[in-house]
Amino acid sequence: MKIYNFKGGFHPADHKELSAGKKERELPLLPKYTVILRQNVGSAPELCVKKGDIVKKGTLIAKEGAGLSVPLHSPVSGRVGDTVLVPGPNAGMVEAVEILTDREEQVWDTSLPPIPDWRDTPVKILKQRILDGGVTGMGGAAFPTHIKLSPPPEKIVDTLILNGAECEPYLTSDDTLMRNHARAVLVGGAICAKILGITEIYVGIEENKPEAIQSVEQASWGIPGVNITVKALPVKYPQGGEKQLIYALTGRKVIVGALPMDVGCVVINVGSCYAIWDAVLNGHPLVERITTVTGTPVVDPGNYWIPIGAPLSAVLENAGGVKADSRTGKIIFGGPMMGFAQYSLDVPVSKNTSGILLLEESEVAQFTGGPCLSCGRCVEHCPMQLPVSTLSKACKNERYDIALQKHVLACLECGVCSSVCPARRPNVQHFRKAKTELKELSWKEKNKQK
């Protein structure tokens, strides 16, 4: 079967060996969890419990808000505490609710009954369950999954793509899920396919995860009703980018400004599939997730099942802390290419924390912004084939008109151009600023017309 190889991209030293193939571990019960209210793209859910309420594991604590939103559940059994402000994973202080545990018996809330016969269940009920389970994209953006599974009727979707590429260096959480829970992931995928009314499922996995490929392939034989094709993809970042993945698997190109559903594809992360399986077959809402805790300073790197709301400090303590001779320069939520740097150890884990990465001070990139040599490395490696060197200069000089002309809005923000730059220029950082400014400008123009 043909694999389409997208132009550009690169493969940095991925250090996946630090955490790959290790046994999944769990965190011991902590005295306090702080669950951030707004964990998804869109509006924040509305709190529906008050201080002192007794909650079980999986009890609804916040109903979905208006528009794009998902509900929120308690990660453990305990008492609801104060609503506090905590440092958020994307900087700034965010509202969160405390759940206090007093050595209560940990029991699941049973208000969501398991649906073992999902094949005979109406699509509407399944979709409602995914919403009730609070499932969001677990890869990065935390986009509500039930919206992704409801394409408008005029868009014909024929292919479901399960994203197991995990192209970010260091991270192995999706790899672990696919190795150990391949069947659950694929059943989750099959549920999505049923909701979309299609039978074609592609699983894209990078070649450097042979165990995951084997395990998913074996599991795919036991799931009737859908055609599951597992494809090994070339190892290069950003293979897991939505547009790149669709191209690699189907040869379809998502045009600039369009959505995957415009070419008949829906892309779902394997972590979200696992959460869908858990919500449908077990009736467990999304209250914990598998997260890679890794990096050279970490004593005991590996993949941990972490309840949503567990603070970073507790996670690191359970991973053995940092080595005595290390000097941690950066703590990142997510991968090293697109993750967010943290400044506090009080940040709680949220639904899209796919990894917690610690970097030595010497490993941290410094963007000193030297003069551009026009070497063309950025242009050569850009997965979107943007004229990065000229675009970056235009954005730096705030010539957003030129930037718009040169398709700055097509930028994925994957960060390859900054990573490979010999002059250490912050290219993608300029593009982010330009994109924000351009969005603001277009809003202003729209408002003027009104």
Partner 1 sequence: MTMSEENTVPHASAEEKQKVRLPETKNLILSPSPHIQVGPGSAKIMCQVIVCLIPAIIAAFVFFGLHALRVLVICTASCAAFEYLWCLAVKRKSTVGDFSAVLTGLLLGLNISSLTPAWVCIAGSFIAIIIAKQVYGGLGQNPFNPAAVGRIAMLMGASGAMTQYAVPRSVFFAPVADALTSATPLSMAESAAGMGKSLEYFNSSGFLWRAFTGEIAGSLGETSVLAVLIGGIGLMALRLIRWQIPVSILATVAIFVSLVNHFSPGTTPGVLFHLFTGGLMLGAFFMATDMVTSPVTVKGCIVFGVGIGLLVCVIRIYGSYPEGMSFAIVLMNALVPLIDKFCYIKPFGHQNIKAGRIEPRRGEIK
- Residues within window 372-411 making contact with partner 1, judged by CB under 8 A: 372-377, 379-380, 383-387, 389-390, 407, 410
The strand pairing partners of 51, in sequence order, are none
435 makes contact with partner 1 (CB under 8 A): no
What's the closest the beta carbon of residue 50 comes to partner 1, in angstroms? 25
Pick one of 86, 174, 233, 247: the residue that binds partner 1 (CB under 8 A): 247
Taking contact as CB under 8 A, which single stretch among the options 35-43, 146-154, 209-217, 315-323 is the one that binds partner 1?
315-323
424 makes contact with partner 1 (CB under 8 A): yes
CA separation for the pair 351, 312 (Å, rounded): 14
The answer to whether residues 65 and 295 touch, using CB atoms and an 8 Å cutoff, is no
276 makes contact with partner 1 (CB under 8 A): no
Pick one of 66, 154, 324, 447: the residue that binds partner 1 (CB under 8 A): 324
The helix/strand/coil state of 291 is strand
**Binding mask 189-218 vs partner 1 (x if CB under 8 A, - otherwise)?**
-x--xx--xxxx------------------
The beta strand positions in 137-181, using DSSP E, are 159-164
Pick one of 51, 63, 327, 439: the residue that binds partner 1 (CB under 8 A): 327
Interactions with partner 1, residue window 343-372 (CB under 8 A): 343-345, 357-359, 361, 363-367, 370-372
Interactions with partner 1, residue window 285-314 (CB under 8 A): 288, 290, 297, 305, 313
What's the closest the beta carbon of residue 419 comes to partner 1, in angstroms? 5
CA separation for the pair 162, 269 (Å, rounded): 6
The upper half-sphere exposure of residue 379, i.e. CA atoms within 13 Å in the direction of its Cβ, equals: 11
Pick one of 38, 179, 330, 351: the residue that binds partner 1 (CB under 8 A): 330
Tell me which amino acid residue 212 is: A
What's the closest the beta carbon of residue 368 comes to partner 1, in angstroms? 9
The answer to whether residues 332 and 359 touch, using CB atoms and an 8 Å cutoff, is yes
- Closer to partner 1 at the Cβ: 217 or 424? 424
- Closer to partner 1 at the Cβ: 44 or 115? 115
Establish whether the linkage from the previous residue to 113 is cis, with ω within 30° of 0: no
The upper half-sphere exposure of residue 330, i.e. CA atoms within 13 Å in the direction of its Cβ, equals: 18
Pick one of 97, 338, 349, 395: the residue that binds partner 1 (CB under 8 A): 338
Interactions with partner 1, residue window 139-178 (CB under 8 A): 156, 158-159, 169
Number of residues located near partner 1, criterion CB under 8 A:
123
Please give the full DSSP string across 384-415, using - where no structure is assigned: T---HHHHHHHHHTT-HHHHHHTTGGG-----
Handedness of CA 73, 341, 162, 415 (dihedral sign): positive
The upper half-sphere exposure of residue 41, i.e. CA atoms within 13 Å in the direction of its Cβ, equals: 14
What's the closest the beta carbon of residue 430 comes to partner 1, in angstroms? 11
CA separation for the pair 20, 25 (Å, rounded): 13
Pick one of 254, 267, 268, 308: the residue that binds partner 1 (CB under 8 A): 254
- Closer to partner 1 at the Cβ: 44 or 193? 193
Interactions with partner 1, residue window 12-71 (CB under 8 A): 12-13, 24, 26, 28-31, 57
Long-range contact pairs involving 224-227 (C-beta distance under 8 Å, separation at least 24): 225/119, 225/190, 225/194, 225/199, 226/189, 226/190, 226/193, 226/199, 226/200, 226/201, 227/199, 227/200, 227/201
Taking contact as CB under 8 A, which single stretch among the options 204-212, 213-221, 246-254, 395-403 is the one that binds partner 1?
246-254
